[in-house]
């Protein structure tokens, strides 16, 4: 990987992950690092190029994140984006001032000739701006590469030192020719090869796991979701029957999911699978709890208790396997999120008691979600498993608003089953990010036959998304909506009304809790 990867220093932009994805789409490995990664560390790791991301701060702020100035002396090409451009200018002797007009959204830029970043592009095109400050005076050795109506230095460069900067965001789809700009940086300027393949990544990872684990045993919490499933198959390829999977049936799964997991991993793949039926334990703990955060914490706590009890049976296991993926890692390393409001808390197998001295093994920590699925396909895993929609860790517990009970779980499972069956009849159903039912703590009046009913309301939630950061409600055919509604009301005793959620994210979240 030396000399053939791109380092991205994260200054807190909402688009940082997008930069990494855009580079990997070109079959070049990219890695997001803390903004304060030292020049010495970068010199040692030898990236082909360095990108400074955007960020929410002003370079004038007291707590403005700064990079190690010595990165500009490494002789490695640098690309600054938005905040990264302002930081580059300020660090190297330019002047940054608050702009007279804040630029946000589509902006037309005029490019100047001879800039390698804009090679084979028109002289004028639309880009996506998002900034208040701008570079007023260029640093010594730099020249302007583009301008907009209110930003005379929309791009700048120092060809001698190989330092380039853009005031706009090339990584977002709203910027015309953004992909080509990044391609020019990656291939024409950084001279990357574009030979990063997931097939070779799988082989390298299996070899790395064999070295890391040696002759030891691994215990892994298997949820049946895509991430833990692909992690289990990778580990099984590396160490075989020294992998011990624990599947906790919390009673909050999709209909028939417990049987599917046992059939897939035990019967079909021959893994050592230990299923723990803890349904009643979860239902008892959730009794009386209606607040979504409290429910999540209860589910997380009981999961840890059950998993810990089962894991103690594997005293010879040195390692704990987890399906941690790259966005999880980025969230945990970014120091710039600050004291943000809690939207919802997540749970995994963190928080184990200290006497369970497992070492972590996380084979997927370098991959994005779509890459995890692709790696699974390389290993021959079933599409039915890999194409499964994301499912929250607390499961039906956060799709049943209000108190959770076994009766309400069974009711929602039956409604959700009808949703899945009808959605799968659509020719483009694999393009849908998530489709599921939600049970409200509301009863409404209905009429069935000649009798008045007073029963539950079910919400249908179907969204399109790429990475769950944003989502839009899916425009399902009316015929599909009609079939889902008719089937739930006619076949699921206890529901007499179905409504469709037409909220986008933001401002709404995908899940209701």
Catalytic residues: 82, 169, 171
Q: Is the bond preceding 34 in cis, omega lying within 30 degrees of 0?
A: no
Distances (CA, A) of 308 to 275, 321, 359: 13, 14, 15
The closest alpha carbon to 211, from 233, 238, 240, belongs to 238
User: How far out from the chain centre does Cα 334 lie?
Assistant: 14
Q: Are 226 and 388 in contact (CB under 8 A)?
A: yes
Q: Can you say whether the dihedral through the CA atoms of 356, 359, 363, 369 is positive or negative?
A: positive
Calpha distance 393→347 (Å, rounded):
7
Integer Rg of the chain from CA = 26
Whole-angstrom distance between the N-terminal and C-terminal Cα of the chain? Answer: 42
Calpha distance 377→468 (Å, rounded):
22
Q: Can you say whether residue 472 is alpha, beta or left, with left for phi > 0 and alpha for psi between -120 and 50 degrees?
A: beta
160 by Cβ neighbours in 10 Å (0-12 / 13-18 / 19+) ranks as exposed
The closest alpha carbon to 331, from 212, 468, 206, belongs to 468
Calpha distance 116→113 (Å, rounded):
9
Calpha distance 9→91 (Å, rounded):
15
The closest alpha carbon to 174, from 85, 107, 102, 79, belongs to 107
The closest alpha carbon to 370, from 378, 362, 359, belongs to 378
Q: Can you say whether residue 272 is alpha, beta or left, with left for phi > 0 and alpha for psi between -120 and 50 degrees?
A: beta
The closest alpha carbon to 148, from 116, 103, 97, belongs to 103
Q: At what angle do helices 226-239 and 198-213 cross, to 10 degrees?
A: 60
Calpha distance 4→14 (Å, rounded):
25
Torsion, CA 83, CA 88, CA 93, CA 97, rounded to 10? -10
Q: What is the 3-state secondary structure (H, E, C) of 34-78?
A: ECCCCHHHHHHHCCCEEEECCCCCCCCCCCCCCCCHHHHHCCCCE
């Amino acid at each position: 990987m030396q000399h053939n990867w791109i380092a991205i220093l994260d200054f807190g932009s909402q688009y940082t992950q997008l930069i990494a994805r855009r580079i990997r789409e070109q079959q070049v490995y990219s890695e997001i690092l803390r903004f304060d990664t030292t020049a010495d560390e970068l010199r040692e790791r030898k990236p082909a190029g360095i990108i400074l991301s955007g960020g929410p701060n002003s370079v004038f702020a007291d707590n403005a994140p700064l990079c190690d100035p010595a990165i500009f002396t490494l002789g490695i090409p640098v690309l600054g984006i938005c905040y990264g451009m302002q930081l580059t200018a300020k660090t190297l002797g330019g002047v940054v001032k608050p702009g007279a007009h804040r630029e946000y959204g589509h902006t037309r830029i005029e490019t100047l000739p001879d800039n390698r970043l804009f090679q084979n592009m028109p002289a004028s095109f639309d880009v996506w701006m998002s900034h208040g400050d701008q570079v007023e005076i260029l640093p010594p050795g730099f020249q302007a590469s583009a301008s907009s109506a209110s930003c005379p230095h929309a791009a700048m460069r120092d060809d001698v030192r190989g330092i380039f900067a853009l005031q706009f965001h090339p990584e977002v789809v709203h910027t015309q020719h953004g992909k080509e700009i990044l391609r020019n940086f990656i291939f024409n300027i950084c001279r990357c090869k574009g030979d990063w393949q997931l097939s070779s990544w799988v082989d390298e990872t299996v070899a790395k796991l064999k070295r890391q684990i040696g002759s030891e045993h691994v215990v892994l919490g298997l949820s049946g979701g895509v991430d833990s499933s692909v992690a289990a198959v990778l580990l099984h390829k590396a160490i075989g029957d020294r992998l011990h999977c624990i599947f906790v049936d919390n009673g909050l799964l999709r209909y028939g999911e417990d049987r599917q997991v046992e059939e897939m991993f035990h019967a079909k793949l021959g893994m050592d699978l230990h299923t723990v039926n803890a349904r009643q334990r979860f239902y008892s703990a959730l009794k009386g709890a209606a607040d979504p955060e409290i429910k999540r914490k209860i589910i997380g706590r009981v999961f840890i208790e059950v998993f810990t009890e089962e894991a103690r049976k594997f005293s010879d296991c040195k390692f704990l396997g987890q399906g941690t993926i790259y966005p999880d890692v980025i969230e945990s390393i970014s120091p710039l999120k600050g004291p943000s409001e809690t939207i919802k808390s997540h749970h995994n197998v963190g928080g184990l008691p200290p006497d369970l001295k497992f070492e972590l093994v996380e084979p997927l920590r370098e991959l994005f979600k779509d890459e995890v699925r692709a790696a699974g396909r390389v290993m021959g895993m079933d599409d039915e498993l890999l194409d499964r929609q994301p499912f929250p860790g607390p499961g039906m517990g956060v799709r049943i608003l209000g108190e959770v009970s076994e009766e309400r779980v069974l009711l929602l499972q039956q409604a959700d089953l009808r949703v899945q069956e009808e959605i799968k009849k659509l020719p483009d159903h694999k393009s849908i990010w998530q489709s599921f039912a939600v049970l409200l703590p509301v009863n409404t009046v209905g009429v069935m036959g000649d009798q008045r009913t007073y029963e539950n309301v079910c919400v249908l939630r179907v969204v399109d998304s790429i990475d769950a950061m944003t989502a839009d409600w899916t425009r399902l055919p009316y015929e599909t909506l009609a079939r889902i509604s008719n089937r739930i009301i006619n076949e699921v005793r206890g529901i007499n009304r179905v409504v469709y959620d037409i909220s986008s994210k933001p401002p709404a979240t995908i899940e209701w809790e």
